[in-house]
């Protein structure tokens, strides 16, 4: 089983990925970091949070190779869900999970992240965001590029807001979707190791990539004009994702 943990950026994807990886390990599946080290697949499964581009056919073939060798594992991605993996999501081969967040909060979080990246001298596409309008445009692009993730009935969608409010319940949903049956004690132990959005005392906190770790930031931090611009630009997506205008 290949668990593909995708996300709308700034939606708690590092948090969800790490808890899912630990869940698989606790249930007798592979810890993807250990699997990567054993197979020397660092070029395929990259970085602390084991990211891979699942749109590249070569990457998909290599992931399938690991699966057919008997491995079950999770990888993290921000790329689109490839047609092959989307087709395989109807089977037990691929189990996609996807974290989402109110896009208005994504706009604010991207601005925070961009500032931190520039201060650290880390250039990338997010670091180039310097204004509210640029962040809003970038967020809309992210949403438009993830239509398959956001509309497929074969994807387990986890709301960032629900993950903050009740991480145990959301991990129970993920476990059921993956066909796992962990004890409540096991899930509680996993959640307690990673819980506390923004809590710097949790295990591997540096992998979580939290800015502020709060829901509904836009209600306090956006001006009326900014909120109106967001609602106008993102309105169809807000409705589709279940967020109120």
Structural class in CATH, domain 2-241: alpha beta
User: What is the pTM (predicted TM-score) of this model?
Assistant: 0.87
Tell me, what's the pLDDT at 245? 83
Domains of the chain, residue spans: 2-241
Q: CB-based burial of residue 21 (10 Å sphere; 0-12 exposed, 13-18 middle, 19+ buried)?
A: buried
The parts of the chain modelled with pLDDT lower than 70 are 196-213
176-199 pLDDT, tens digit each: 999 999 999 999 999 988 875 444
- With contact defined as beta carbons under 8 Å apart, do 41 and 62 qualify? yes
What's the Cα-to-Cα distance from 190 to each of 184, 186, 206, 210, rounded to whole Å?
10, 6, 17, 18
Average pLDDT of the chain to the nearest whole number: 89
């Amino acid at each position: 089983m290949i668990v593909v943990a995708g996300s709308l950026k700034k939606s708690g994807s590092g948090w969800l990925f790490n808890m899912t990886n630990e869940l698989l390990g606790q249930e007798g599946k592979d810890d993807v970091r250990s699997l990567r080290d054993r197979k020397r697949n660092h070029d395929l499964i990259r970085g602390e949070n084991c990211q891979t581009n699942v749109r590249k056919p070569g990457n998909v073939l290599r992931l399938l190779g690991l699966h057919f060798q008997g491995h079950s594992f999770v990888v993290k991605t921000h790329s689109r869900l490839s047609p092959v993996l989307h087709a395989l999501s109807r089977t037990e081969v691929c189990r996609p999970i996807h974290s989402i967040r109110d896009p208005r909060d994504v706009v604010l979080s991207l601005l925070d992240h961009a500032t931190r990246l520039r201060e650290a001298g880390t250039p990338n596409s997010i670091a180039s965001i310097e204004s509210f309008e640029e962040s809003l445009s970038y967020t809309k692009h992210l949403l438009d590029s993830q239509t398959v993730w956001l509309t497929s009935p074969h994807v387990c969608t986890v709301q960032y807001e629900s993950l903050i409010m009740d991480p145990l319940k959301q991990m129970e949903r993920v476990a059921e979707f993956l066909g796992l049956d962990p004890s409540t004690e096991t899930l509680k132990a996993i959640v307690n190791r990673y819980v506390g959005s923004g809590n710097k005392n949790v295990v591997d906190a540096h992998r979580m990539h939290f800015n502020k770790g709060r829901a509904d930031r836009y209600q306090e931090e956006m001006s009326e004009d900014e909120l109106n611009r967001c609602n106008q630009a993102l309105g169809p997506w807000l409705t589709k994702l279940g967020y109120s205008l």
